[in-house]
């Protein structure tokens, strides 16, 4: 994964580590898409979305700012997406179920001919709503060129 060796999760702490991981995966996912590694890019961006949502939850949980209902599994990304939408953090415009289906296809096959631009725009909008984007690339450790 793009974050291995680029960050020290212990020194960052659990909340900031999630944010750094989301940023690193956005950067690498974009690069992989540009390089034509579409399936790898999609799967990498899925991790960015997951880490971004988990980061938002972790930083807001102490403030009770979210509509978390009894029995909800906030470790499940689909549940977390619904919770963040219901709480007004996300506007609901991102097709999470469609994206999840695309991730499943990407895990099974290389999607070289997939036009990813609309998907990437949706992911970037979602990450803006969470506060993961924008970020200053110069604040991130340099990419490891050996990461495929």
Secondary structure, 3-state, the chain: CCCCCCCCHHHHCHHHHHHHHHHHHHHHHHHHHHCCCHHHHHHHHHHHHHHHHHHHHHHHHCCCCCCCCCCCCCCCHHHHHHHHHHCCCCCCCCCHHHHHHHHHHHHHCCCCCCCCHHHHHHHHHHHHHHCCCCCCHHHCCCCCCCCC
Residue 37 lies in a domain: yes
Residue 120 lies in a domain: yes
Q: Which domain holds residue 75?
A: 9-134
Residue 16 lies in a domain: yes
Least confident of 7-11, 109-113, 132-136: 7-11
> How confident is residue 96, by pLDDT bands cut at 50, 70 and 90?
very high
Q: What is the pLDDT of residue 31?
A: 93
Averaged pLDDT for residues 66-85: 93
Structural domains in the chain (count): 1
The predicted-structure confidence for 18-37, as pLDDT tens digits, reads as follows 999 999 999 999 999 999 99
Residue 144 lies in a domain: no
């Amino acid at each position: 994964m793009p974050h291995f060796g680029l960050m020290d999760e212990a020194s960052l702490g659990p909340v900031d580590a999630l944010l750094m991981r989301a940023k690193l995966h956005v950067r690498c996912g974009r690069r992989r898409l540009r390089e034509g590694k579409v399936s790898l890019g999609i799967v990498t961006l899925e991790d960015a979305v997951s880490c971004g949502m988990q980061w938002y939850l972790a930083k807001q949980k102490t403030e009770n700012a979210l509509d978390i209902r009894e029995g909800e599994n906030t470790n499940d990304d689909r549940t977390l997406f619904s919770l963040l939408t219901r709480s007004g953090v996300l506007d609901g415009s991102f097709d999470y179920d469609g994206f999840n289906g695309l991730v499943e296809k990407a895990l099974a096959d290389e999607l070289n001919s997939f036009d990813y631009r609309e998907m990437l725009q949706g992911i970037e909008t979602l990450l803006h709503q969470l506060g993961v984007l924008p970020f200053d690339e110069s604040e991130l450790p340099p990419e490891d060129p050996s990461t495929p």
